[in-house]
Amino acid sequence: MLTVTQARERILAALTPTPAETIPLAAAHSRVLAAPVIARLTQPPADVSAMDGFALRAQDAPAGATLKIIGTAPAGHPFPGTIGPGQAIHIFTGSIIPAGADSVLIQEDSSTLGTTLTVNESCVPGKNIRKAGQDFAAGETLIAPGQRLTPGKIGLAAAANHPWLAVHRKPRIAILATGDEIALPGEPIPEGGIISSNAHALAAFVSACGGEPIILPIARDTMDAITAGAKAAAGADLLVTTGGASVGAHDLVQDSLKSQGLALDFWKIAMRPGKPLMFGGLGALPVLGLPGNPVSALVCALLFLRPAIERLSGLPGAAPATTTATLTAALKPNDHREDFLRATITQTAAGDHVTPFPVQDSGMLKTFAHATALINRPQHDPAQDSGATVQVILL
Amino acid sequence: MLTVTQARERILAALTPTPAETIPLAAAHSRVLAAPVIARLTQPPADVSAMDGFALRAQDAPAGATLKIIGTAPAGHPFPGTIGPGQAIHIFTGSIIPAGADSVLIQEDSSTLGTTLTVNESCVPGKNIRKAGQDFAAGETLIAPGQRLTPGKIGLAAAANHPWLAVHRKPRIAILATGDEIALPGEPIPEGGIISSNAHALAAFVSACGGEPIILPIARDTMDAITAGAKAAAGADLLVTTGGASVGAHDLVQDSLKSQGLALDFWKIAMRPGKPLMFGGLGALPVLGLPGNPVSALVCALLFLRPAIERLSGLPGAAPATTTATLTAALKPNDHREDFLRATITQTAAGDHVTPFPVQDSGMLKTFAHATALINRPQHDPAQDSGATVQVILL
């Protein structure tokens, strides 16, 4: 069986980023940039004042000097003239420094009487002036491609005069839940059946990762139904199935997709929960088969689907970040399957403490929904005492 | 001047959560629940198999025993009969345990020849069976109100048979950028002017916090224009202005809003960047006046606007989480203003290291856009040597 890391590497190696599309800056938050953002102007465009105060010549303005205020230049209304000896103009944050001036005396360090300005603190050249290009210069690459656009980067692209940006198209992730026993919430429940939670939980997960979920109708447990479901995924960047991925008599997903030409890469990995994880390609369409069990499906989504969506989005795609925490309960030795225990994190003065739920049955969705961390135990991890330091993935 | 903490408390105290709306489960990701999710059914609805295998009576199945397979019950197709002595049925993960059976022999521990089943590992009662209600029971409160809906909680609400959920309406955050010197990206730039980055950076920030941004047209520096802008915010849950919040001759926002009846709470706080932060109420509409400087605006958004949106959304609203990191450069003593230095985090085997950008001018949006952390220095923090442990906010 593959390890979790091997499986993730094989999935990532099979995926390529979506092509670029042009979208308005106002819609670009959290999208992944597909072309560099190059400054279309210099910022600030000229030397500007960093404060409200008076532009003047520093040589005229030792403490105690008096100068004549010859005008006012709010931001956006540059002073057209030149500052001569003994002269000053009233300026504001963002105002362009007028010709002749080389310093700004801030309002708090001055007093005025009519047009007479008295200097209370000596001025030095360059003081309170933001030089032209201090932030960036026209032609400079401000944001390299392959980065997710944060509010700060959106602001930077705006300041550099970009109303449109080229970003990777959101990966379209088709989600196919299978099973005779499942019904969508609010619909009639078959005898002995349960409500399907996977499709909507995974759709939320896909959205949270920046993908565009497409929920296909539930496929019943027949070859034809699953074949029809897979065909409906045409145009998607990834087909995610849930249920039926292992090789039981009623696990038809593999058989059905194979009948359509699935090139199966692997279908088993050494992890808990979630051993029956399938990956392959149906022509150009990558297919990720998640377990049908909701907890297993969501843990596998975290470990494999998120990196896959990242890779499709133009990011590298990486394992979930881990951190360390102190165990509050003993753990028995682990077997050959890498384990992901549902747990809660408590912040204490002595660092984070982590408490696994006493029952780890992967049928318990409530436990997963309220977990705030997964304890990540390596294969063959020996027994751990309470107080040991363990690796955790924060949820 | 107020401290950052005092200012945040006064803002939060003035805000109340938006009312509830009913939305489809499929649209509920990351929304804040406004009514409890109560289980509408029991999960599992009956005792079910946790594995693929054979349902049987444990007393009939010591290692080496042989039993007769009398039927098959896939999930969703319960076996209608009763298991008698020496009998077994083939079942699958999620199949209901038939009457008479008390244990499941997993496929891997069995061998079959026609309808004869040979037991390779002794069975014990209850083994590989998920009891009815193991996950939850009908009537149980599964998710309390006031929590943000994660993919796991969406799945749990689905499993509990909720096609619709009551959530707090997304807070509508009207954003009013002011200034004679600013133009939107791609539009003609006034002489001495710059591109407005605040409105779109803040809109992205609002979206990221779960709010609904409304970008109002830029208001020029006249009383009338700002008055018209504020009127356009009718129906919003919060009006955010940028620029013009301090008391310079051209800082008209306060004057204009006061002329409309603004009840000013405060307009100055002891922090850097971002001293001129205004908060008040225009009738029932809370108004948060952010600095015009883009870096200051975004730092203040993190410290005040995010908690405000959280509170409006039905969450408590809290200060950004801080963690600790090791400084890689010395810092001079801090003054009376709490400081938020733009910095980068590097992960090392010895923990996180944090490096402040050498120039901290709040006009440098590029620096902020590429910062991965803010170093949070308390008021009057003494000088810190390289190697000291400091508080950081991860961006």
Closest-CA residue of B relative to A134 is: B364
Question: Does the pLDDT at position A245 exceed 70?
Answer: no
DSSP H or E segment with residue B205? helix B198-208
Residue A94 contacts residue A87 (beta carbons within 8 Å)? no
> Between chains, do B135 and A92 touch, taking CB under 8 Å as contact?
no
> Between chains, do B43 and A194 touch, taking CB under 8 Å as contact?
yes
pLDDT of residue A251: 72
Nearest residue, CB atoms, A180 vs list B29, B76, B197: B76
Which residues are B394's β-sheet partners?
B373
Among B50, B65, B63, which Cα is nearest to B103's? B50
Alpha helices in A121-189 (DSSP H): 151-159
List, in order, residues 6 or more apart from A318 with CB less than 8 Å away.
A307, A310
Which of B197, B202, B206 is most worth mutating to test chain A (most A CB atoms within 10 A of its CB)? B197
Residue B117 contacts residue B66 (beta carbons within 8 Å)? yes
Asked whether the bond before B171 is cis by omega within 30 degrees of 0, the reply is no
- Burial environment of residue A230 by CB neighbours within 10 A (0 to 12, 13 to 18, 19 or more): buried
Q: In Å, how far is B221's CA from the nearest CA of chain A?
A: 10
Which residues are B122's β-sheet partners?
none
pLDDT of residue A246: 61
Token readout for A320 is 């979930």
In B, which residues are within 8 Å of A25 by CB distance?
185, 200
Alpha helices in chain A (DSSP H): 4-13, 151-159, 198-208, 223-231, 252-259, 294-300, 306-313, 365-370
What's the angle, vertex CA B332, arms to CA B328 and CA B334, rounded to 5? 115
pLDDT in tens, A360-377: 988 899 999 999 999 999
List, in order, residues 6 or more apart from A21 with CB less than 8 Å away.
A166, A167, A168, A169
Distances (CA, A) of A323 to A304, A357, A369: 19, 19, 20
Q: In Å, how far is A13's CA from the nearest CA of chain B?
A: 26
pLDDT of residue B248: 63
pLDDT in tens, B141-150: 999 999 999 9
User: Which domains can be identified in chain A, with CATH numbers?
Assistant: 4-16+170-313 (3.40.980.10), 20-43+141-168 (3.90.105.10), 48-130 (2.170.190.11), 323-394 (2.40.340.10)
pLDDT in tens, A107-146: 989 999 999 999 999 999 998 999 999 999 999 999 999 9
pLDDT of residue A248: 63
Report chain A's mean pLDDT, rounded to a whole number: 94
Distances (CA, A) of A225 to A230, A251, A286, A374, B164: 9, 13, 19, 35, 28
Among B114, B97, B82, B87, which Cα is nearest to B51's? B97
Average pLDDT of A59-67? Answer: 95
Nearest residue, CB atoms, A365 vs list B90, B159, B369: B159
Longest CA pairwise span in chain A (Å): 95
Rounded to whole angstroms, the Cα distance separating A149 from A162 reads 13
Closest-CA residue of B relative to A106 is: B248
Closest-CA residue of A relative to B137 is: A366
pLDDT of residue A193: 87
Nearest residue, CB atoms, B197 vs list A150, A158, A179: A158
pLDDT in tens, A230-240: 999 999 999 99
pLDDT in tens, A261-298: 999 998 889 999 987 889 999 999 999 999 988 999 99
Question: Does the pLDDT at position A100 exceed 70?
Answer: yes
Rounded to whole angstroms, the Cα distance separating A324 from A322 reads 7
In A, which residues are within 8 Å of B293 by CB distance?
93
> Between chains, do A198 and B25 touch, taking CB under 8 Å as contact?
no
Q: How many CA atoms lie within 13 A of B330 on its CB side?
A: 5
DSSP H or E segment with residue B199? helix B198-208
> Between chains, do A92 and B26 touch, taking CB under 8 Å as contact?
no
Q: Which residues of chain B have pLDDT under 70?
A: 245-250
> Between chains, do A41 and B78 touch, taking CB under 8 Å as contact?
no
pLDDT of residue A249: 58
Low-confidence winner among A7-11, A71-75, A378-382 (lowest mean pLDDT): A71-75
Q: In Å, how far is A38's CA from the nearest CA of chain B?
A: 12
Whether this model's ipTM surpasses 0.85 comes out as yes
pLDDT of residue B285: 96
